[in-house]
Amino acid sequence: MVFDFLQPVSNTFIDFREKLSSQTLGKKVLFHTDEDFPDLDEVVIAIVCVNENRGKGVENSDDEFDAFRKSFYSLFPGNWNVAIADLGNIQYGETIDDTYFLVKTINEDLLRKSIVPIIIGGSQDLTYALYRAYDNLDQMVNLVTIDDQFDFAKENVELNHSFLTRIIVDEPNNLFNFSNIGYQTYYNPQEEIDLIEKLYFDAYRLGEVSNKIAIAEPVFRDADIVSVDMNSVQSSFSGNYLNFNPNGFNGKEICTLARYSGISDKVSSFGIFDFNDTFNESILIAQMVWYFIEGFCFRSKEYPFGTKEQYLKYIVLIEEEELIFFKSNKTDRWWIEIPFLDNKNNKLKRNTLLPCTHDDYLAACEQEIPNRWWKAYRRNLL
């Protein structure tokens, strides 16, 4: 059984948990301990910590993630009605590819059980293993990273800053779209920024998102995997002064993005990477996980559409294009249709809906084609 490779949470944490209030998360979550492995039949969300940092050139230690667990499980749940399990830790393998295989296999098994994995810890190149977990699930994958860099391959760099190239190049190629939230231009060569445009991927600068964070919500609504690099957060908010970052998202913004991830009906894997298991940083990460689960508990189950009767349909003519929008009567959220073209080699095998904003509809009414629609349309034909 693949879960046999998971190590239980530490006895130090179990002792800490015993002293918690009965109303805290620590008393409401199922734990993998030395004596017991959780029954997953009713579990909806599973937390797994991964001890693997070789991708960023750091030697591994015997980290048991006690700082994160003490911070998270001391919190009180919201009005949640989901079963959560903490499955313990994946310890690093003999090689980094061994660790990738474990992460991939465990993630795939959880997905097949309709359990949403929350992966904590390790370097961000573990995103590659999360992506490979979808190989046998017969679907295209949309990946969203919250990151100050794009992580394309560069000369003489760690895997942590080149995993996106592997995702794009390696077979089988299941990637339909990649979106970056919060990149900082001075950390990214112009060639990489141009490549993002050439591949019709989506990228949003830090200032653009910070000025109007709601523009990121449709991006998460279309994501399967969300990967967070904690270096995208200001050090003054994350508490990470070992890798000092003067700019980035503040604590409120990163928690908002985590909630957007959770509330998306489509997100099925969520990971937080590149942090040091220190008390200060763990407080923010604990709150990010809390907000993801809070969002998950308020999913509206609007995707995929079971019926279009609960949506208003709007048709906008722009030159020779007919743009079709749908607005939900339930949440007031918007979608735009990407057409299927019979005479083209479409990646998508039918008409599909792309999340968008009300502003996109208003722009279309002013004869401006939404940029995300145009990119998705072109990407579908690549």
Residue 235's pLDDT band (cuts 50, 70, 90):
very high
Q: Strands 352-356 and 334-338: what pairing?
A: antiparallel
* Phi, psi (degrees; rounded to nearest 5) at 118: -110, 110
- pLDDT top residue among 60 and 328: 328
> What is residue 319's predicted lDDT score, i.e. its pLDDT?
82
SS3 (DSSP) at 164: helix
Contact call for residues 351 and 360 (beta carbons, < 8 A): no
Contact call for residues 121 and 277 (beta carbons, < 8 A): yes
Contact call for residues 229 and 285 (beta carbons, < 8 A): no
Q: What is the mean pLDDT of the segment spanning 35-61? A: 91
Alpha carbons 347 and 326: distance in angstroms, whole number: 22
- Give residue 44's Cα distance to chain centre: 17
Listed residue (41, 108, 61, 48) closest to 268, CA to CA: 108
Structure tokens at 46: 């599973």
The residue type found at 285 is: I
> What is residue 276's predicted lDDT score, i.e. its pLDDT?
80
Predicted confidence (pLDDT) at residue 287 exceeds the cutoff of 70? yes
> What is residue 301's predicted lDDT score, i.e. its pLDDT?
85
User: Which of 44-48, 125-129, 299-303, 322-326 is predicted with the least confidence, judged by mean pLDDT?
Assistant: 299-303
Across the chain, mean pLDDT equals: 91
For residue 85, the tally of other CB atoms under 10 A from its CB is: 22
> What is residue 339's predicted lDDT score, i.e. its pLDDT?
83
Alpha carbons 265 and 258: distance in angstroms, whole number: 13
DSSP class of residue 8 equals P
Predicted confidence (pLDDT) at residue 81 exceeds the cutoff of 60? yes
Predicted confidence (pLDDT) at residue 154 exceeds the cutoff of 70? no
Is the pTM above the cut of 0.85?
Answer: yes
Structural domains of the chain, with CATH:
2-297 (3.40.800.10), 311-380 (no CATH)
Percent of the chain whose predicted confidence (pLDDT) is above 90: 76
Contact call for residues 302 and 330 (beta carbons, < 8 A): yes
Dmax over CA atoms of the chain, in Å, equals 67
> What is residue 378's predicted lDDT score, i.e. its pLDDT?
85
User: Which of 5-9, 54-58, 63-67 is predicted with the least confidence, judged by mean pLDDT?
Assistant: 54-58
Predicted confidence (pLDDT) at residue 213 exceeds the cutoff of 80? yes
Alpha carbons 200 and 222: distance in angstroms, whole number: 15
Give the tens place of pLDDT for each residue, 88-138: 999 998 999 999 999 999 999 999 999 999 999 889 999 999 999 999 998
Q: Where are the alpha helices (DSSP H) in the chain?
A: 11-18, 66-73, 96-112, 126-132, 163-169, 190-198, 206-211, 217-221, 235-238, 251-263, 279-297, 358-365, 371-380
DSSP class of residue 311 equals E
> What is residue 321's predicted lDDT score, i.e. its pLDDT?
85
